Amino acid sequence: MKRKVTVLLAAPVVLLVSAGAAVAVSAGSFDATLRPLPHSESADGGSDVHGQASLRLTGRTLDINLTASGLTPGEPHAMHIHGVVQSNNECPDISADVNTGDPIDPSTFIAGQPDGLISLAEGGPSYGPIDVSMTITGDTSPSSGLSLERFVKADSAGNLAYHRSVVVPKEVAKNLANLHIVLHGADLPSDPDHSSLSSLFEATLPVACGEIAQQR
C-alpha cells in the first residue's frame, strides 16, 4: 500500500553575495505570470497549470495574491518563491530532463534516459532553492517547503486562490526581482490512485513557474 506524503523537508536557502549585484529594492509592486513546465504531454497527461501572482513589498513585508488553475483537484500544492537571491534565475526548459538519478525518482527510472518529466532535482539548477514557503499558516521558511498540510488546496475544479502577508528575509526583499514562483504537485497518468500525494516524486514535481518582475 502506498503511504501518502504529508510533511517533507526542503533544501536550505542559499544566499550568495555578488559585488556586481543590481541595486537593491525594498519596496514596490511586483507580478509573476505562471506557465506550465514543458513536460511531455504523454508523461504528465497534458497538465496545463497556469497562474498569476501580484506582490506588494513594504520593507520586509510581502503581501502575496496568487490564483492558479489546472491543478490536481482537492489536494494541497506546495508553492514557493525560489532562487539564488543575487543571481538571475530562470524557469527550466525540457533540456533539464536529463535523468542523472535522484532518490525520489520512480522505480521505472532509467539513468541517462529522459522520461519527459522535469523532476524537482532537475528543475532546481534553473530556478534555485526555496527562499519562501507560501504556506497558509505558521512558518514560511524553507524548512516548511513541503509541509503539505499547511499549503492551500485546489478546489474540485483544480483552481486555487492564495493570499497572505509574510515577512521575508532581508536578502529576498532586496532581490525579489531576481526570483521565481514555482508550484508543485501533479497526479500522473502512470499512477492509478488519482492522487498527487501518493509519492514524493509526484508531490514535489514542479508544474508551473514564473519569474517575478517589478512593475514599472
pLDDT in tens, 145-195: 989 999 999 999 999 999 999 999 999 999 999 999 999 999 988 877 888
The DSSP bridge partners found for residue 29 are 56
Number of domains into which the chain is organized: 1
- Give the whole-angstrom CA distance, residue 7 versus residue 5: 6
What DSSP character marks residue 190?
T
How confident is the model over 49-101, as pLDDT tens digits? 999 999 999 999 999 999 999 999 999 999 999 999 877 778 999 888 887 66
Query: How far apart are the two ends of the chain, measured CA to CA in Å?
Result: 52
- 109 within some domain: no
Q: How big, in percent rounded to 5, are the helix, strand and coil portions of the chain?
A: 15, 30, 55
- 1 within some domain: no
Q: What is the CATH number of the domain that holds 152?
A: 2.60.40.200
150-180 exposure pattern, b = at least 16 Cβ within 10 A, e = fewer: bbbbbeeebebebeeebebbebbbbbbbbbb
- 108 within some domain: no
- 39 within some domain: yes
Residue span of the structural domain in which 70 resides: 7-16+25-103+114-214
- 131 within some domain: yes
